[in-house]
Structure 1
């Protein structure tokens, strides 16, 4: 069995946990260490039982709790050398650091981990595909543009976590953000829009895709109803209305999703 839960997702912090092949891995550590521990325990995971942490990139909302969490739980951290260099400049000195290059695949116990480069304004951001011979979970967060290579890496999945940061109309109408911030969000190194996510799902959807979990929704420039309605319509057109859809929240963990 493979299962996956989002501990929290949004501009206030991002983290998730995956169980597969007898291993438990946390992806990112953007909540406070206190919240990471509390939310892991709320979904039945002892923080000390984790086998490692995978980092997508170095931004604070993805690594904020790492320093204290590693002092409490000195477990391996898997990331690229460039990301590790930036993160460790903040004074993080706990845990054991394991490096991979973007695009490299490696095995952790019974889990195969495929990595791929993504488009974002970070030093060396990556996405992941995790799984075994029978099922695979894709993880794509904080990407301004979906390349053909990224799409190919995400084919044949049983489940997918993907950011759906903003609705184009709501972002354009937003009065809180200056033009420069809007340009950064919608740039090729910013975040994914509802349209981009819908087109990605259209490309990779297939009969065995069971679940899509959407994360990093802007509290001002997106709503669960908007993106869920778009994806339901898209999947219905493709004859894949069986795919389960869920929006992860910022303030509490999701349920477990089995694959």
Structure 2
């Protein structure tokens, strides 16, 4: 084999080796690109998953915050409604309390009322001797009905006429615009046993409180069922 043949054979071997190298390089390139694409896709999906999870977490936080805010606003609204209802009920009670003062304007009616209140108190206490306390302005009216009140009680209970001692410690006076925060009494009486262990408050204000507490459910139902309708 001459030099020319040897050279050709070497060139063929070089081309073969180069072709194999190029093919191998292409295979490596394709394989590397596939692996890169797969890894890139995995990374993208992982990031998407993290973003979705973060979004869901924030969405839940927003939802919880909205529920809390709604609950707070609802409670605030309920408190305002209840406060408005209480204000309305209290204004009714204040109006009723002012009406009590009109009772004192008619001496005959008020005198008869005082007698009835004394009799009622005696019937509740059932004591042979009691202390009676009233407003200073009402002492003369109370004393004018004591005898008839004792006789009426004695007749109803079939007992001896009780002893009633008018106390010189008086109930507070009627409400005054000059001192709106001072203690006051709209009228009526307070009776107690001689030892002070049993006390029956039969003032007009005490009776108003009792009636108001007793009728409060009906008052609320009547007022606020109409408002709701």
TM-score range, shorter-chain basis? under 0.3
TM-score (norm 2): 0.25
TM-score (norm 1): 0.23
More helix by share: 2
More contact order relative to length (CA 8 Å, sep ≥ 6): 1
More strand by share: 1
